[in-house]
Chain A
Amino acid sequence: MRAVISVIGKDTVGILAAVSAKCAEYNINVMDVTQSVLQDMFVMVMMTDISKMNIDFARFVDELSALGKEKNLSIRAMHEDIFNAMHTI
């Protein structure tokens, strides 16, 4: 099972570290990261493996969203299937 974590907002120091730390804390493996900065908008997309995570996924979503609020960013974790459903036939 895989999930996509997306981070969108103003670029600040330590975003990648903070999100990866959360993943490590709950045994979520980061498989791939792409990031780009458009003007000062920071966009990061992480593909993660959640099959061995040790937290309820819904709670993980809340924790990331709270972390986002703290850092003034929009951080979402969404099940991979929603992107597959929408963009692949």
Chain B
Amino acid sequence: MINQKDILETITMIQDENLDIRTITMGISLLDCCHSDINIVCDKIYNKITTYAKDLVRTGEQIEKEFGIPIINKRISVTPIAMILAACEDKDAVKIALTLEKAAQTCGVNFIGGFSALVQKGFAHGDRELIEAIPEALAVTEHVCSSVNVGSTKTGINMDAVKLMGETVVRAAERTKDQNCIGPAKLVVFCNAPEDNPFMAGAFHGAGEPDCVINVGVSGPGVVRAALAKSKDLDLTGVADLIKRTAFKITRMGQLVGTEASKRLGVPFGIVDLSLAPTPAVGDSVAHILEEIGLDCCGAPGTTAALAMLNDAVKKGGVMASSHVGGLSGAFIPVSEDAGMIDAARNGCLKIEKLEAMTAVCSVGLDMIVIPGDTTAATISAIIADEAAIGMVNSKTTAVRVIPAIGKKVGDELSFGGLLGSGPVMEVNPVSPAKFIDRGGRIPAPMQSLKN
């Protein structure tokens, strides 16, 4: 018999501390949709997605009701579209983006990810055409998310792709300047991109994945913070232990929902992504956890150390709670999606340079950062290169999702609404890295790649 205290603890976590399952993401392989005629490809893609995912949203809602745990998003990830585009004679990638949008709307999902290219070592057929089409694709669709992998520990960094992506981010912002520059908020530039990530905007269904799979992403910064708030006199060993115990409980919930969804949909269960994913809601912030640990404001000296401990404890707690752990797994630090980060950025305590240091010890990278609209493409490319270097050398995933706010300057605000939140325009170092970026070529793989 479960005791009353445990039951009430679970209910308090859900009711008062924003515990939720952030996403159930169905990964669907589109490799069998390849054809030389793009119209046939579009038909095949639409039919496959709408057949496989037709019950995804309904099943998610059923589980939500029966177990009493909110499941915020139901999403789909697909094979990187550049791989499908490679076979087409007419390489009009926007056509495929519109097909993905139509399929997402038919299924009723919140996002569909996989308008992606993997170019860490070079461009294959379809890659350049896809990247070229990203700004337009993100402007004419609402639910489609895009990602490009430009580097990895094994291959080094493709600096030609880094240059191209800086320009693409600027174009995506300009193309959507009438929609609060929403384009680049749906575009992630990765190093070491995971192939089973359920979180947007970077989700895609890797080539090594099965035909169809269910991945789950958990959340719960509010629960961790509430647990810490109740135990103010712990030393840091105690704090790490408490975070581990809390992460264990949160992840067990993800494991349960994942196995249940996989059973009901008749699709294999892939992984649980053990992430602390914040939302702009009050009480659901990773920055506030760091502040609860003892920093006056996120971004103060000590932030990197506190985040490193948090990230590690989340993994240690979560890994035993799930049979398969994957995706990004760690603490997310998206600025515009986290109430504490927004405040810290507004009051000047949190700067891009500090965020960059934080990305060396957390699960992702420079995420949802609004930068001045006049930031040059070369500067954005250089920011991408810096992040990719951190990921490459530390054998971890890093990513850049920055949003140039066209027509705005430092101190102004940009609002996207919903989970994407809003944020202040943050200062970027104006010194030019253009010569470095113009060199192109590849940064060779580091010594860490030679493990065999």
A74 vs B346: C-alpha distance when bound (angstroms): 37
Establish whether residues A76 and B11, one from each chain, have CB atoms under 8 Å apart when the complex forms: yes
Shortest Cβ gap from B38 to chain A (Å): 42
Given A85-B252, A86-B252: A61 in contact with B65 (beta carbons within 8 A): yes
Q: Let me know if B256 is at the binding interface, CB within 8 A.
A: yes
Establish whether residues A79 and B62, one from each chain, have CB atoms under 8 Å apart when the complex forms: no
A56-89 with Cβ < 8 A to chain B: 57-58, 61, 74, 76-88
A63 vs B28: C-alpha distance when bound (angstroms): 37
Establish whether residues B11 and A58, one from each chain, have CB atoms under 8 Å apart when the complex forms: no
With a CB–CB cut-off of 8 A, which chain A residues contact B62? 58
With a CB–CB cut-off of 8 A, which chain B residues contact A80? 2
A58 vs B65: C-alpha distance when bound (angstroms): 6
A50 vs B274: C-alpha distance when bound (angstroms): 32
A88 vs B66: C-alpha distance when bound (angstroms): 19
With a CB–CB cut-off of 8 A, which chain A residues contact B260? 81
B62-80 with Cβ < 8 A to chain A: 62, 65-69
Establish whether residues A82 and B4, one from each chain, have CB atoms under 8 Å apart when the complex forms: no
With a CB–CB cut-off of 8 A, which chain B residues contact A82? 10, 67-69, 253, 256
Q: Let me know if B51 is at the binding interface, CB within 8 A.
A: no
Listed residue (A77, A78, A81) with the most chain B CB atoms within 10 angstroms of its CB: A78
Tally of chain A residues near chain B (CB < 8 A): 26
Shortest Cβ gap from B63 to chain A (Å): 9
Main secondary structure of the interface of B (DSSP, over half): helix
Closest A residue, CB atoms, query B66: A79
Shortest Cβ gap from B95 to chain A (Å): 39
Of A74, A78, A85, the contact of B255 (CB 8 Å cutoff): A85
Q: Let me know if B264 is at the binding interface, CB within 8 A.
A: no
Given A77-B68, A78-B68: A34 in contact with B4 (beta carbons within 8 A): yes
Q: Let me know if B6 is at the binding interface, CB within 8 A.
A: yes
Q: Let me know if B323 is at the binding interface, CB within 8 A.
A: no
With a CB–CB cut-off of 8 A, which chain A residues contact B6? 83, 86-87
Shortest Cβ gap from B16 to chain A (Å): 11
Shortest Cβ gap from B390 to chain A (Å): 35
- Over the window 1-45 of chain B, the binary record of Cβ atoms lying under 8 Å from chain A Cβ atoms (1 yes, 0 no) is 110101111110001000000000000000000000000000000
Q: Let me know if A6 is at the binding interface, CB within 8 A.
A: yes
Establish whether residues B67 and A4, one from each chain, have CB atoms under 8 Å apart when the complex forms: no
Listed residue (B7, B9, B62) with the most chain A CB atoms within 10 angstroms of its CB: B7
Q: How many A-B residue pairs have CB under 8 A?
A: 67
With a CB–CB cut-off of 8 A, which chain A residues contact B255? 85
A9 vs B432: C-alpha distance when bound (angstroms): 61
With a CB–CB cut-off of 8 A, which chain B residues contact A43? 4, 8
Establish whether residues B67 and A45, one from each chain, have CB atoms under 8 Å apart when the complex forms: no
Establish whether residues B7 and A4, one from each chain, have CB atoms under 8 Å apart when the complex forms: yes
Shortest Cβ gap from A9 to chain B (Å): 12
Q: Let me know if B232 is at the binding interface, CB within 8 A.
A: no
Closest B residue, CB atoms, query A59: B65
Establish whether residues B2 and A58, one from each chain, have CB atoms under 8 Å apart when the complex forms: no
With a CB–CB cut-off of 8 A, which chain A residues contact B256? 81-82, 85
With a CB–CB cut-off of 8 A, which chain B residues contact A47? 1-2
Q: Let me know if A40 is at the binding interface, CB within 8 A.
A: no
Closest B residue, CB atoms, query A4: B7
A78 vs B62: C-alpha distance when bound (angstroms): 12
Shortest Cβ gap from A72 to chain B (Å): 15
A36 vs B69: C-alpha distance when bound (angstroms): 24
A58 vs B66: C-alpha distance when bound (angstroms): 6
Q: Let me know if A8 is at the binding interface, CB within 8 A.
A: yes
With a CB–CB cut-off of 8 A, which chain B residues contact A83? 2, 6-7, 10
A43 vs B260: C-alpha distance when bound (angstroms): 29
Establish whether residues A85 and B68, one from each chain, have CB atoms under 8 Å apart when the complex forms: no
A4-56 with Cβ < 8 A to chain B: 4, 6, 8, 32, 34, 36, 43, 45, 47
Establish whether residues B68 and A45, one from each chain, have CB atoms under 8 Å apart when the complex forms: no
Given A32-B1, A74-B15, A86-B253: A6 in contact with B67 (beta carbons within 8 A): no
A81 vs B66: C-alpha distance when bound (angstroms): 10
Listed residue (B1, B10, B69, B255) with the most chain A CB atoms within 10 angstroms of its CB: B10
Q: Let me know if B324 is at the binding interface, CB within 8 A.
A: no
Q: Let me know if B125 is at the binding interface, CB within 8 A.
A: no
Shortest Cβ gap from A83 to chain B (Å): 5
A43 vs B4: C-alpha distance when bound (angstroms): 9
With a CB–CB cut-off of 8 A, which chain B residues contact A79? 66-68
Top 8 A-B pairs ranked by shortest CB distance? A78-B68, A85-B256, A58-B65, A87-B6, A82-B67, A85-B252, A83-B2, A86-B249
In the complex, besides A6-B7, A43-B8, A58-B65, 7 extra interface pairs with C-beta distance below 8 angstroms are: A74-B15, A78-B69, A80-B2, A81-B256, A83-B2, A86-B6, A87-B10
Binding site for B on A (CB under 8 A): 4, 6, 8, 32, 34, 36, 43, 45, 47, 57-58, 61, 74, 76-88
Q: Can you report 12 residue pairs joining A to B where beta carbons are below 8 Å apart? A: A4-B7, A6-B8, A6-B11, A43-B4, A57-B66, A58-B66, A61-B66, A74-B15, A84-B2, A86-B10, A87-B2, A88-B2
